[in-house]
Structure 1
């Protein structure tokens, strides 16, 4: 067994229930000697080690999941984390959530702490760090771990990776703006050469190439501040650009503010599409077109995949991409009336 054996594995090997194994671990007098012997034999065969302090922390038979997120200030990641946590809670698991704030040293610290406290599994949206500094500590501990939304370790047979179909999202956004008659379309936001940036740009590049058009990219931290600054810069230095696909909704919302400051009417003078479709897209004015990723569903499905791995031994597929769709609103279609 390549992963650390769980109480479920012991129960299966001994031919008893999970609660019976728990009773053996708690030295319950209700367990018959013969049954106790079967369970202890299975534990020895599997190399199962009982972490009593972690079990006490978890509240006995409740599993503990480590949920490590790179940027909980971003509503996209917050919604993912909330959805995953609720799914774990519904199945009786406690969750330890850590925000690493894009800092590799914090990521290393929280992973080590969670291992020390006996987490049963990890769901991690990681910071970008060198491969040898990323998830190796988790591998050595033998704890099941899924990479979600970002991939830093290529060993997806060890650390399965699940994300969204960002390339299709970029293509849908570009085809939407091309269908409205635009020909000078830029991609705004996202740090250059990061895998997620390249994925979101790839569909845009492909659609523009098929239309025989040039691309233009303006990279930067995916924040409202960057979006606001870029809107002002585009109006001042690149008036020929007619529309933009943003790396994220935060960038697009910042651009909305910048264009308002510059007196540019979004949806008429300039067409804009965000990426992620966070709740604010449908509430701002003009309402923001965006690539919907349904991150709440994705969070739920990711948690369910982890639970199937822990409880049934069904490791997730090495790679999974969840579907996306384009939601067109005022910022690209124009404000009615």
Structure 2
């Protein structure tokens, strides 16, 4: 699909190319009615004004956009930092936007990044109605990668890369069973979300293999949810002896609840997190967790995008990077 040009806008609006240019540059001499015609034509044919492309070419600086669903989560912050540093070392400037899990904000920031001439976009998408975002990205005709989360099945156009979440669920659950746990809960992660489904599926698979009954307690992936669910487990499921958490934040909340209940973490009750953010090795007791290699992952994404940009090497539709279990003090064998 050919990217629309300023001439296409002029033809659609029934005005001259110079008039369109004046509208794009904010010329005060253009009548309001004409401005409306031009903007309507731009929207209808999907034209994106590349406001800063000339300046970028003159300065020799290429700009890459990074859209993150939740920079309040340390996992995504660590990823963004790794990616930005890797691209910066290769001479690329990175503009970062946080959508705060809001699809409408995502539409806005993607449109702004395209308007300001990014050479490529890397998106860890918010969930919700992303149709407008995907339409804009398809029209932009630039490299676009989905990372960590997948919201579009069109991975030929928007390649997807993430850690192997399902395998992480498997290795963590096997480890807990080998450590003697039998009533293992999976805690956290919102129902219906792809990442939740993948992490839970590995857990369910191994529990079934060993003839054990699963216990899935879904909800927000936060410390407060982990704290609240741990109290519920100790009250309503006293036989529960371990938890695999959707992420490390949930695990931190469960650790706090164990301290309050005077549970001996790692013996009375085992906890495994997911992601291995920096704090996992610094909390007390230190957290056993599924290591997703977020630093190496950020560098791999940077390399992949630059290969696409510089050498036209289109990534595979889907890539899964390896994960491994880190044994620390919240499990028996890590003590």
Q: What secondary structure, in the 3-state scheme, does the structure 1 residue paired with 2:320 have?
A: strand
Mapped partners of 2:57, 2:98: distance in 1: 21
Answer whether contact 1:134 1:152 (CA < 8 A) is retained.
no
8 A Cα contact 2:273 2:288, kept in partner: yes
2:241 counterpart of 1:237:
no
Residue 276 of structure 1 deviates from its aligned partner by: 0.4
The residue that corresponds to 1:117 in the other structure is 116
* Secondary structure of the structure 1 residue equivalent to 2:331: helix
Q: Give the CA deviation at 1:133.
A: 3.4
Change (3 A) 1:264 1:177: same
Q: 3-state DSSP class of the match of 2:267?
A: coil
Q: Kindly indicate whether the alpha-carbon contact (under 8 Å) linking 1:65 and 1:94 is maintained by their aligned counterparts in 2.
A: yes
SS in 1 for 2:67: strand
Any idea what the Cα deviations from partners look like across 1:241-265, whole Å, max 9, x if unmatched?
Answer: 1100000000001110111112212
Q: Which residue of structure 2 lines up, in the alignment, with residue 71 of structure 1?
A: 70
Q: Which runs of 5+ in 2 are unaligned?
A: 4-47
User: 1 CA distance for matches of 2:130 and 2:49?
Assistant: 30
Deviation at 1:132, TM superposition (A): 2.2
Distance 1:293 1:168 in 2: 11
| Distance change (3 Å), C-alpha of 1:113 and 1:51 | closer
Following superposition of structure 1 onto structure 2, how do residues 1-337 of structure 1 map, counting pairs within 5 Å? Answer: 51=50, 53-56=52-55, 60-130=59-129, 132-333=131-332, 336=335
Match of residue 11 from structure 2: none
**Can you give the 5+ residue segments of structure 1 that lack an aligned partner in the other structure?**
5-48
Distance in 1 between residues matched to 2:187 and 2:115, nearest whole Å: 41
- Report the TM-score when normalising by structure 1: 0.83
The total of aligned residue pairs comes to: 292
Superposition deviation, residue 163 in structure 1? 0.5
Is the 8 Å Cα contact of residues 252 and 274 (structure 1) preserved in structure 2? yes
User: Any conservation in 1 of the 2:166–2:199 contact (CA below 8 Å)?
Assistant: yes
For the structure 1 residues 120 and 335, does the alpha-carbon distance in structure 2 shift closer, same or farther, using more than 3 Å as the test?
A: closer
**Separation in 1, partners of 2:66, 2:159:** 15
Q: TM-score, normalised by structure 2?
A: 0.84
Per-residue CA distance 1:95-135 (angstroms, 9 max, x = gap): 10001010111101100000110100001100112352342
